[in-house]
Amino acid sequence: MKELHIVFGATGALGSAIVHELTQRNKPTLAVVRDEDKAQRILPEDTEYAIADALDADHVTYLCDGATAIYNCVHVRGENWFTLTENLIAGAKVSGARLVFPSNIHGYGPLQQSPATEDHPHLATSKRGILRNTLEKMLADARERDGLSYVIPRLGGIYGPMVTDSFIADIAEAALQDKQAFWYGKLDVPFDLLYVKDAATACVLLSSMPQEAEDNPAWHVPGAAPITGRRFIEMAFQAAGHKPKMGVRSRLMLSALGIAVPGAKELLELLYEFETPTLMDGSRFAAAFPAFRYTPYEEGIPNMVAWYSEYLRERTANKRE
């Protein structure tokens, strides 16, 4: 069968990294985007792309025809998550493709054991975790009902170039501007962080991993090693050429912000991940892909800071125009 990899959300940090990874492997790829100008700026030259809305069921099904792997890298909000997932399941059903559905550890809730293995029960206590579990049940039901082939790369917190929608972005910006950077919870609790290129490579590897119907579709991809917030901030400031300045956004602070800021309330629900070790056991993935090597922090963090330096320069220049 001829390969065709379709990446929805291909101009985001993970989506674009997956497109670059597929291009390096000479895999036929279709990048599905909403912003043509952005696609032309950041995707590899000669990338084939389609402009579409992943919430348009008919268009998704049409684009997925002939696919062998479909990647969900779209970020949506609220009820749109269910529509998106339904559309991608339908597209995978039509084509018989493997659906790659990246996720995280929120669905486990406070861990019963750390590091957690892939068979950890889904005991989410947070809004985000409950949502993730609901989406994953939709996938499991489709596998039981229609034989859907899917994998869930369960990723550590992603950092690196183009990751602009997390508190990691704030740390990179603070380091470059020589301002105070903030972590959540406790500075000295180990945390899983995963370089974005490594996340993309893992997703591509899992897109063709042999899988039996009874196999657990989730694969833990935690990162090079657990790292504390303190050490991550120190390394970011070092890469930026400044002495570290750091602080903590505590439970009390987030509680106060949550009265007026909904996002703070959601973070408060997940703060346990930053207060006690909430780590993943990545041994299953390591055994399946023994040649895979994570990017060390000594390389990944300077790459992140260098990218953000250029990003901030461009942002400042655009504001002046």
Q: What pLDDT was estimated at residue 155?
A: 98
* Whole-number Å distance between alpha carbons of 200 and 144: 27
Q: pTM of the entire structure? A: 0.95
- 69 & 33 share domain: yes
- 182 & 199 share domain: no
pLDDT digits (tens, 9 = 90+) for 294-319: 999 999 999 999 999 999 998 877 77
Compare 219 and 212 and report the one with higher pLDDT: 219
How many domains does the chain contain in total? Answer: 2
Where does the chain have alpha helices with state H?
13-24, 36-42, 57-64, 80-95, 127-146, 167-177, 196-206, 229-240, 251-258, 262-269, 272-275, 283-288, 297-320
Evaluate if residue 238 carries a pLDDT over 90: yes
- 122 & 183 share domain: no
For residue 196, the one-letter residue type is V
- 33 & 124 share domain: yes
For residue 133, being part of any structural domain is answered with yes
- 28 & 76 share domain: yes
Residue 252 binned pLDDT confidence (cut-offs 50, 70, 90) = confident
- 217 & 250 share domain: no
Helix (H, G, I), strand (E, B) or coil at 189: coil
Q: Positive or negative, the Cα torsion across 107, 257, 156, 150? A: positive
For residue 249, being part of any structural domain is answered with yes
- 131 & 60 share domain: yes
- 237 & 217 share domain: no
Q: What percentage of the chain reaches a pLDDT higher than 90? A: 87
**Which residues form the domain of 67?**
5-159+193-221
CA distances from residue 206 to 62, 86, 289 in whole angstroms, order as listed = 24, 21, 10
- 171 & 97 share domain: no
Mean pLDDT across the stretch 204-223? 95
- 253 & 153 share domain: no
What residues form DSSP beta bridges with 184? 249
Contacts of 15 (CB under 8 A, 6+ apart): 7, 8, 9, 31, 71, 73, 74
Mean pLDDT across the stretch 160-186? 95
Cβ atoms of residues 155 and 197 within 8 Å: no
- 40 & 184 share domain: no
Contacts of 216 (CB under 8 A, 6+ apart): 118, 119
For residue 314, the one-letter residue type is E
